[in-house]
């Protein structure tokens, strides 16, 4: 089967329209269209096609590696699929401009030996227009467009193919009605499937990319693992990098802050994000002014799905070297940016004691009724009533360090008699950072100290390979913010050895993964540099011409050269002529002369089976009839070479069996 060039052109333009890849779609469509007026055809062999396929494979693998390391998410598969028609276009055009309509399927296997001549008739032959047509539609389907245009385009292209392969004896009216009914039913069905796909896609992709961990940041609601039974497993993957002086390590980098607790969930009540305008350089974002000495650090992170919550030290008053389309901050210090860039670097300037978060409110003193009994017992146990704020912090920290253990293996369950936090404080004094941070925040509130719940990362691991500090998924952390002496201060009651308990023994696999992540980090930075520079914008056509030139002349130094042939107008015209009934009628006349007559309306295959010819004659006639039927009834017809083969077969059979 072969897809006509007009349908290929339509599919390519449809792909370019849906994905925005017009820079590739238009040249490909023009080259396919030009085949109608360019008679020259390359004399390509199986080896030539194999080399072209290898070239496409190298491009595919290179693009896969680049997208994988630059995105660090399985979402790269979508982008990779969108690029497939561009990568495979070289192979398609090679077939179109060659003197063959089919390619040996095993051309695409580099590890299989070349077949012997006796095996060639058993090899699978394919026409690349069919898989390329399907790939173009598939690539168009993964675009971000969700309007009716995609469905209409896909329906039109599919209907075009079905129309070509329909039986000619079938009623045109019935065919049109069936297509319209199927199209309408499909449109209604795909609306429901789209919603189902969206939910499944979101869940599966997040699961595969590790986004269903407790690290995922929501600026409004934080669902903790408090009260869940089982072992919490955190990723060892490097999420971002930090360049800072060693004297400031370990350092906590806050991502989100919450002020109201209710049944294992922290909320940012009445959260409101306010846009922050950049300074004149468009790279500096100021939250408050200060002339006092400060500390700075540089963070290298990745924007996923167009937005990112920044990891910031407490009391950050300025961000610089950050290119973003939009930056907004809520009253609790959570900062969200939006941008099209993938890899970003930004510098945070901070100084202890500077206030950038809103003053405390009644929500910062709220204690759930279900927790008050346990909290009152702890307040009395460690003697917090009437103590000054600093002494309260000292006693609370000492209480947790002396009486509690850290573990990611949850053994505290929710029940109807007591809450998980109450059980943690009074009975099973073992848990992870979410327990410690929540219990400390509620204890401080019980004695009148406003507090909030902060989540982010604790950075302490230095990478000798990268020459900077790295933060992994397992470095996710939660701590308390206490309002003391007019400013918000960090208060971390999780036992200090939690980082060593979470860190597994270093393995060879982790070292390899770290090296791969570092390589991806560097490549991503290079890709970002190329995107922001004018190199590709100004010189893409030079790079494209160089690649095309290399492909066309790469065989110049070989002993065998690729040759081209020009189809004469006479040959082109004859290729459109079918084998007439009179050509095949000569065989029927020869059989009649030998006493074998065909019954009215009897199929040819049943006729020759009935007349009991010798085996050689029978086998040869079956092959001739199969090719003859294809030439007469297949809407796509047969190739010029097959048509010549059919004529020669008829003539040869007549010469051998009519005498």
What is the predicted pLDDT for the residue at 561?
41
Interior CA angle at 194 toward 191 and 195, to 5°?
95
- What residues contact residue 116 under an 8 Å CB cut-off, 6+ apart? none
The pLDDT of 264-284, averaged and rounded, is 91
What is the predicted pLDDT for the residue at 119?
43
What is the predicted pLDDT for the residue at 199?
60
Residue 572 has pLDDT above 50, yes or no: no
What is the predicted pLDDT for the residue at 113?
46
What is the predicted pLDDT for the residue at 327?
94
Q: Helix or strand or coil: residue 5?
A: helix
Contact of 449 with 487, CB cutoff 8 Å: no
Top-confidence residue, 597 or 390: 390
The pLDDT of 195-224, averaged and rounded, is 58
Q: Helix or strand or coil: residue 125?
A: strand
What is the predicted pLDDT for the residue at 211?
41
The pLDDT of 124-142, averaged and rounded, is 83
Residue 552 has pLDDT above 80, yes or no: no
**DSSP string across 397-453:** HHHHHHH-EE-SEE-----SSS-HHHHHHHT--EE-HHHHHHHHHHHHHHTT--EEE
Top-confidence residue, 359 or 102: 359
> What is the residue-averaged pLDDT of the chain?
78
Question: How far lies 1's CA from each of 92, 130, 161, in Å?
Answer: 15, 7, 10
Query: pLDDT tens digits, residue range 492-548?
Result: 999 988 877 666 645 556 677 777 777 767 666 655 555 555 554 455 455 555 655
Torsion of CA 528, 533, 538, 542, to 10 degrees: -50
Share of the chain above pLDDT 70, in %: 72
The pLDDT of 220-241, averaged and rounded, is 76
Helix or strand (DSSP H, E) at 319: strand 316-320
- Between 171-180, 345-354, 603-612, the lowest mean confidence (pLDDT) is in 171-180
- What residues contact residue 94 under an 8 Å CB cut-off, 6+ apart? 42, 44, 48, 49, 52
The pLDDT of 377-404, averaged and rounded, is 93
Work out whether strand 265-267 and strand 316-320 pair parallel, antiparallel, or are unpaired: unpaired
**DSSP string across 147-187:** SHHHHHHHHHHHHHHHHHHS-TTS-HHHHHHHHHHHHHHHH
Which among 466, 476, 568 is positioned nearest to 516, based on CA atoms?
466
Cα(143)–Cα(15) distance, integer angstroms: 9
The pLDDT of 75-98, averaged and rounded, is 86
Contact of 474 with 459, CB cutoff 8 Å: no
Cα(79)–Cα(45) distance, integer angstroms: 33
Tell me the pTM. 0.55
**DSSP string across 41-78:** EEE--HHHHHHHHHHHHHHHHHHHHHHHHHH-STTHHH
21: its two tokens: 């890849």
161: its two tokens: 């193919």
Top-confidence residue, 485 or 631: 485
37: its two tokens: 């007026």
Residue 131 has pLDDT above 70, yes or no: yes
What is the predicted pLDDT for the residue at 210?
43
- Between 28-32, 96-100, 442-446, the lowest mean confidence (pLDDT) is in 96-100
Residue with tokens 């009533």: 385
What is the predicted pLDDT for the residue at 456?
93
Top-confidence residue, 655 or 350: 350
What is the predicted pLDDT for the residue at 254?
94
Sign of torsion over alpha carbons 382, 386, 392, 395? negative
Q: How confident is the model at residue 230 (pLDDT cuts 50, 70, 90)?
A: low
- What residues contact residue 178 under an 8 Å CB cut-off, 6+ apart? none
Work out whether strand 273-275 and strand 326-330 pair parallel, antiparallel, or are unpaired: antiparallel
């Amino acid at each position: 089967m072969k897809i006509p060039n007009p349908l290929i052109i339509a599919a390519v333009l449809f792909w370019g329209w849906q994905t925005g890849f017009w820079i590739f779609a238009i040249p490909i469509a023009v080259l396919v269209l030009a085949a109608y007026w360019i008679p020259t055809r390359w004399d390509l062999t199986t080896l030539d096609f194999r080399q072209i396929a290898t070239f496409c494979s190298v491009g595919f693998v290179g693009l896969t590696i680049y997208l994988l390391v630059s995105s660090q998410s399985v979402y790269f598969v979508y982008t990779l699929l969108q690029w497939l028609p561009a990568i495979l276009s070289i192979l398609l055009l090679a077939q179109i401009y060659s003197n063959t309509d089919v390619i040996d399927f095993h051309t695409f296997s580099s590890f299989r030996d070349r077949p012997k001549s006796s095996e060639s008739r058993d090899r699978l032959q394919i026409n690349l227009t069919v898989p390329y047509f399907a790939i173009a539609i598939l690539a168009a389907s993964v675009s971000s467009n969700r309007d009716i245009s995609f469905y209409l385009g896909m329906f039109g292209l599919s209907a075009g193919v079905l129309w070509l392969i329909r039986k000619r004896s079938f009623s045109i009216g019935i065919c049109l009605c069936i297509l319209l009914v199927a199209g309408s039913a499909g449109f209604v069905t795909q609306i429901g499937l789209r919603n189902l796909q969206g939910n499944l896609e979101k869940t599966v992709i997040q699961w595969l990319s590790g986004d269903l961990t407790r690290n995922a940041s929501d600026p409004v609601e934080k669902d903790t693992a408090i009260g869940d039974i089982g072992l919490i497993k955190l990723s060892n993957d490097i999420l971002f990098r930090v360049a800072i002086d060693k004297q400031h390590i370990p350092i906590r980098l806050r991502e989100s802050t919450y002020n109201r607790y209710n049944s294992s969930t922290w909320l940012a009540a009445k959260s409101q994000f306010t846009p922050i305008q950049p300074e004149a350089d468009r790279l500096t974002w100021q939250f408050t002014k200060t002339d006092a000495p400060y500390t700075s650090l540089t963070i290298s992170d990745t924007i996923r799905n167009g937005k990112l919550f920044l990891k910031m030290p407490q009391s950050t008053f300025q961000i610089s070297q950050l290119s973003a389309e939009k930056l907004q901050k809520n009253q609790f210090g959570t900062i969200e940016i939006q941008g099209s860039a993938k890899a970003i670097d930004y510098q945070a300037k901070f100084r202890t004691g500077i206030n950038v978060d809103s003053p405390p409110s009644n929500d910062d003193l709220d204690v759930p009724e279900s927790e008050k009994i346990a909290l009152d017992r702890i307040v009395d146990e460690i003697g917090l009533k009437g103590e000054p704020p600093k002494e309260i912090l000292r006693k609370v920290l000492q209480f947790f360090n002396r009486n509690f253990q850290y573990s990611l293996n949850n053994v505290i369950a929710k029940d109807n008699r007591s809450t998980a936090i109450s059980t943690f404080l009074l009975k099973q004094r073992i848990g992870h950072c979410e327990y410690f941070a929540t219990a400390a925040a509620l204890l401080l509130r019980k004695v009148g100290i406003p507090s909030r719940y902060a989540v982010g990362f604790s950075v302490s691991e230095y990478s000798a390979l990268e020459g900077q500090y790295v933060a992994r998924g397992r470095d996710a952390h939660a701590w308390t913010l206490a309002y003391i002496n007019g400013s918000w201060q960090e208060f971390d009651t999780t036992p200090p050895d939690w980082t060593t308990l979470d860190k597994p023994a270093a393995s060879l696999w982790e070292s390899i993964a770290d090296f791969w992540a570092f390589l991806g980090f560097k490549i991503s930075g290079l890709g970002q540099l190329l995107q922001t520079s004018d190199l590709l914008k100004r010189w893409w056509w030079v790079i494209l011409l160089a690649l095309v030139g290399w492909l066309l002349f790469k065989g110049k130094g070989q002993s065998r050269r690729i040759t081209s042939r020009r189809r004469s107008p006479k040959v082109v015209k004859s290729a459109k002529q079918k084998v007439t009934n009179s050509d095949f009628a000569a065989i029927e006349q020869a059989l009649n002369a030998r006493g074998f007559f065909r019954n009215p309306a009897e199929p040819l295959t049943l006729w020759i089976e009935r007349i009991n010819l010798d085996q050689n004659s029978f086998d040869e006639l079956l092959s001739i009839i199969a090719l003859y039927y294809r030439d007469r009834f297949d809407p796509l017809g047969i190739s010029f070479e097959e048509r010549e083969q059919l004529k020669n077969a008829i003539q040869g059979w007549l010469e051998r069996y009519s005498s």
